[in-house]
């Protein structure tokens, strides 16, 4: 019991340390470049343009990070009400493939789409589900070198009672000693690669969104061969699942 309380306190301390660090880096940059514009150190149109661009990009990064932290906090406190609506998993998958394709094509990674043979109805918060699956598709792309392949599969399982989305990649894979930790907030396997934009929140959000729907997320992976992430949701949300009442006012 005491152990669990200690672990939770430690997790909270780590969380604050990580958020502070991730907020501070772009803020320092915004401060530096705006000061240079104000005091005239950034002279000439080209230099000023570049400073303004960096300020804008860093501000965007901050907005994204803050949105992720707020979303995750809401999900974890059960304060985020899902806006449940009928969704067809095949349609949602096709839409995601369409929106992800340009990023895949630019990276030289093939995105293969395998819909279920029949429509796959489910009751879900379409925006949150899109967010979770986009996180998985973006991760797969990021960890798959060209010429690689990522496949999105939709299938109805358990006689249509469950819907499973699977994202398989032929990328780097995840070491066995790390795989248990990747769902933790802010956990990144390769922290040293500072050029990466990842906040380490993506998979924590996927997990929370899955659980909020009464479903679950999981992964299997082989280093050097690739990873297989899945998100499984009940087609109809059961009584007692951690969800809010459908609210179509949004
Ligand atoms: P990040 O913002 O770093 O992508 P995530 O929570 O989405 O954060 O992922 C946590 C870590 O899990 C990543 O840093 C990465 O090392 C690992 N990971 C996630 N998806 C994959 C994948 N498809 N292949 C290999 N490693 C992955």
pLDDT in the model for residue 8:
66
What's the CA gap between 245 and 250, in Å, rounded? 13
Kindly report the CATH number that applies to the domain delimited by 2-77. Answer: 1.10.287.130
From 3.40.1830.10, 3.90.850.10, 3.30.70.2740, 3.30.565.10, which CATH number describes the 85-234 domain? 3.30.565.10
pLDDT in the model for residue 182:
92
Distance 45 CA to ligand 1 centre (A): 39
User: What is the rounded average pLDDT of the residues 76-98?
Assistant: 89
What secondary structure does DSSP assign to 87-99, as a single string?
EEHHHHHHHHHHH
Q: Where are the domains of the chain?
A: 2-77, 85-234
* Phi, psi dihedrals of residue 54, rounded to the nearest 5°: -65, -45
Distance 177 CA to ligand 1 centre (A): 14
Distances (CA, A) of 58 to 21, 28, 36, 104, 210: 14, 10, 15, 24, 30
Q: For the segment 154-173, what is each residue's pLDDT rounded down to a tens digit?
A: 999 988 899 999 999 999 99
Q: Is the CB of 170 under 6 A from ligand 1?
A: no
Closest atom, ligand 1, to C-alpha of 201? 6
Q: For the segment 102-154, what is each residue's pLDDT rounded down to a tens digit?
A: 999 999 999 999 999 999 999 999 989 999 999 999 999 999 999 999 999 99
Closest atom, ligand 1, to C-alpha of 202? 7
Q: For the segment 5-53, what is each residue's pLDDT rounded down to a tens digit?
A: 776 677 667 777 777 877 888 899 999 999 999 999 999 999 999 999 9
Q: Which two tokens stand for residue 230?
A: 């899945």
Mean pLDDT of the chain: 86
């Amino acid at each position: 019991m005491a152990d669990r309380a200690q672990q939770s306190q430690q997790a909270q301390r780590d969380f604050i340390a990580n958020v502070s660090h991730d907020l501070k880096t772009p803020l320092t940059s915004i401060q530096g470049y705006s000061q240079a514009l104000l005091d005239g150190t950034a002279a000439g149109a080209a230099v000023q343009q570049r400073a303004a661009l960096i300020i804008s990009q860093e501000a965007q990064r901050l907005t994204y990070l803050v949105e992720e932290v707020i979303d995750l906090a809401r999900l974890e406190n059960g304060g985020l009400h899902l806006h449940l609506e009928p969704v067809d998993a095949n349609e949602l998958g096709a839409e995601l493939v369409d929106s992800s394709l340009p990023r895949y094509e630019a990276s030289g990674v093939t995105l293969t789409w395998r819909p279920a043979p029949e429509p796959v109805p489910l009751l879900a918060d379409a925006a949150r589900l899109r967010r979770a699956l986009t996180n998985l598709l973006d991760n797969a792309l990021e960890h798959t070198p060209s010429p690689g392949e990522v496949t999105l599969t939709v299938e109805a399982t358990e006689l249509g009672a469950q819907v499973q989305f699977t994202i398989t990649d032929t990328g780097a894979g995840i070491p066995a000693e790390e795989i248990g930790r990747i769902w933790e907030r802010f956990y990144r396997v390769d922290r040293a690669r500072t050029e990466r934009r990842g906040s380490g929140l993506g998979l924590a959000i996927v997990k929370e969104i899955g659980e909020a729907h009464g479903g679950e997320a999981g992964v299997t992976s082989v280093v050097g061969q690739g990873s297989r992430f899945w998100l499984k949701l009940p087609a109809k949300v059961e009584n007692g699942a951690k969800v809010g009442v459908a609210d179509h006012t949004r």
